[in-house]
Amino acid sequence: MQKSIGVLTSGGDCPGLNAAIRGVGKAAIEKYDMSVIGFCDGFRGLVQDRILRVSSDQLTGILTDGGTILGTSRDKPHKMPIGNKTEDMIDAAVDTYRRHALSAVVCIGGGGTQKNAIRLADAGLNVVTLPKTIDNDIYGTDVSFGFDTALQIATEAIDRLHSTATSHHRIIVVETMGHRAGWLALGAGIAGGADVILIPEIPYSVDVVATAIRHRAQRGRRFSIVVVAEGAMTAEEAKTINKFVDRKKNAESKRDRKEATSKLDAFHENHVGHTLKLSEQLESMTGIESRLTILGHLQRGGTPSAADRILATRLGTACAGLLHDEMYGVMVASRSNGIKPIPLSDVAGKKKLVPMDHPWVVAARMTGVCLGEP
Ligand code: F6P
């Protein structure tokens, strides 16, 4: 009997999603004679049974397109806003899956998607996931698609900001995305020749950053490029955060856990805008004019790089092979020695942060980049 598979994209979009859909779809249809349906707008489409029948023709010409032909959302199947309530819609997802007599559903997404996928697996669905995100923070894979393109976009932005920073003898603070991980800021900072790079994994001191910029000015370098990850924080902020993280981890009751979680959420909400504050502080502490550029969603838009197209195609086609072999409950990971299926239980709920001894950190230090450590 012909196998039918479902595909959905979930979480923030990124370049390479269409390449991955195409990779899974073409291999599934053409090599393994499966039929493919897409679910619209992530897990919401699965719950609401909103589908797009996927044929080989529809997969032609999408390799180089940014975004996702299926649409995406950040909806979670177990906590979905329905009207003005939040409901557990796992049963509805299971119903849709059974209605279409699917053999499996492929969930293409980031860290949140891995957690959602495992919930569906626990409810009895056959699930395989693919790792995508510009943040590169998915545990278990060396790299996720989307990252390389975002790295290029951020690097090019820093290159362009250099010429205006030097002409005006200014500090330019550049905020990158990356969520709670520093991969994007660190990579683009190194590639773009930043003078200061601030990442969440290395809490910083504003004094140290200001001193580094003053030293540069004393040596005749009257401009500085400061690349800051959106999740970077000062040493004092890190202390506060760690206190709540510990409270959440060691909470003895549901109430304590909820309280710690809401404190953490509030911190992160208020943290938006921290780079503007930093830019103003640096200007007043150094006497050098400072400007802020927030790269934002530009980093997620447009056509994927060659490396992301290749990675997404390799992961997608390998995924079709796993579906054919009926290997489920795994994320298709990219490892130095090839593509490897990793059990979802080893991936979900974990984050891949920048290790302190990572070669990129070492290289940044060796080239005199200030990482802001007190
Ligand atoms: O996870 C990808 C990402 O772009 C993060 O870098 C960023 O923090 C977040 O998504 C932004 O999300 P949204 O598009 O929902 O504002």
Question: What's the rounded mean pLDDT across residues 90-116?
Answer: 98
**% of the chain beyond a pLDDT of 70:** 100
In one-letter notation, the amino acid at residue 182 is G
**Does residue 337 carry a pLDDT above 90?**
no
For the CA of 178, the closest atom of ligand 1 is 6
In which residue are the tokens 């990124």 written?
14
Q: Which residue minimizes the CA distance to atom 15 of ligand 1? A: 12
For the CA of 179, the closest atom of ligand 1 is 8
In testing the pocket of ligand 1, which one of 17, 41, 113, 134 has its CB within 8 Å of the most ligand atoms? 134
In testing the pocket of ligand 1, which one of 179, 186, 297, 298 has its CB within 8 Å of the most ligand atoms? 179
For the CA of 184, the closest atom of ligand 1 is 6
CA of 177 to the centre of ligand 1 (A): 7
**% of the chain beyond a pLDDT of 90:** 95
For the sheet with 51-54, list strands across it. Answer: 51-54, 35-39, 4-9, 104-109, 127-131, 330-335, 338-343
CA dist 227 to 193, 224, 241, 275, 297, Å? 10, 10, 22, 10, 16
CA of 230 to the centre of ligand 1 (A): 10
Q: Which residue minimizes the CA distance to atom 8 of ligand 1? A: 179
Q: Which residue minimizes the CA distance to atom 13 of ligand 1? A: 12
In testing the pocket of ligand 1, which one of 73, 135, 274 has its CB within 8 Å of the most ligand atoms? 135
| Centroid of chain to Cα 271 | 18
Length of the chain in terms of residues written: 374
In which residue are the tokens 């999740």 written?
231
Condensed to tens digits (0 to 9), the pLDDT of residues 39-67 reads 999 999 999 999 999 999 999 999 999 99
Dmax (CA) for the chain in angstroms is 75
Contact 104, 73 (CB under 8 A): no
What is the four-CA torsion angle of 160, 162, 164, 167, rounded to 10 degrees?
A: -150
Nearest Cα neighbor of 73 from 48, 91, 98, 92 is 48
Condensed to tens digits (0 to 9), the pLDDT of residues 222-272 reads 999 999 999 999 999 999 999 999 999 899 898 989 999 999 999 999 999
61 contact partners, CB below 8 Å, separation of at least 6: none
Question: What's the rounded mean pLDDT across residues 154-164?
Answer: 98
For the CA of 74, the closest atom of ligand 1 is 15
CA of 13 to the centre of ligand 1 (A): 8
Condensed to tens digits (0 to 9), the pLDDT of residues 172-197 reads 999 999 999 999 999 999 999 999 99
| Whole-number Å distance between alpha carbons of 309 and 75 | 26
Q: Which residue minimizes the CA distance to atom 7 of ligand 1? A: 179
Q: Which residue minimizes the CA distance to atom 10 of ligand 1? A: 12
| Whole-number Å distance between alpha carbons of 291 and 162 | 12
pLDDT for position 60: 96
Ligand 1 pocket, CB under 6 A:
12, 110, 133-135, 177-179, 230, 300
Q: What is the overall mean pLDDT for the chain?
A: 97
Split at pLDDT 50, 70, 90, the class of 69 is: very high
In which residue are the tokens 């683009």 written?
188
Split at pLDDT 50, 70, 90, the class of 326 is: very high
Split at pLDDT 50, 70, 90, the class of 1 is: confident
CA of 12 to the centre of ligand 1 (A): 6
Mind listing the domains of the chain with CATH numbers? 4-145+304-347 (3.40.50.450), 150-300 (3.40.50.460)
CA of 169 to the centre of ligand 1 (A): 32
For the CA of 134, the closest atom of ligand 1 is 2
CA of 27 to the centre of ligand 1 (A): 30
Q: Which residue minimizes the CA distance to atom 9 of ligand 1? A: 179
For the entire predicted model, the pTM comes to 0.96
Return the active site residues. 135
Question: What's the rounded mean pLDDT across residues 287-316?
Answer: 98
Nearest Cα neighbor of 95 from 105, 86, 106, 85 is 105
In one-letter notation, the amino acid at residue 329 is G
| Whole-number Å distance between alpha carbons of 134 and 323 | 26
Instruction: Tell me whether residue 183 is exposed, middle or buried, using C-beta atoms within 10 angstroms of its C-beta: 0 to 12, 13 to 18, 19 or more.
Output: buried
Q: What is the 3-state secondary structure (H, E, C) of the chain?
A: CCCEEEEEECCCCCCCHHHHHHHHHHHHHHHCCCEEEEECCCHHHHHHCCEEEECHHHHCCCCCCCCCCCCCCCCECCEEEECCEEECCHHHHHHHHHHCCCCEEEEEECHHHHHHHHHHHHCCCCEEEEEECCCCCECCCCCCECHHHHHHHHHHHHHHHHHHHHHHCCEEEEEECCCCCCHHHHHHHHHCCCCEEECCCCCECHHHHHHHHHHHHHCCCCCEEEEEECCCCEHHHHHHHHHHHHHHHCCCCHHHHHHHHHHHHHHHHHHCCHHHHHHHHHHHHHCCCEEEEECHHHHHCCCCCHHHHHHHHHHHHHHHHHHHCCCCCEEEEEECCEEEEEEHHHHCCCECCCCCCCHHHHHHHHCCCECCCC
**Does residue 275 carry a pLDDT above 90?**
yes
**Does residue 76 carry a pLDDT above 90?**
yes
CA of 290 to the centre of ligand 1 (A): 26
Q: Which residue minimizes the CA distance to atom 11 of ligand 1? A: 12
Neighbouring CB atoms inside 10 A of 66's CB total: 17
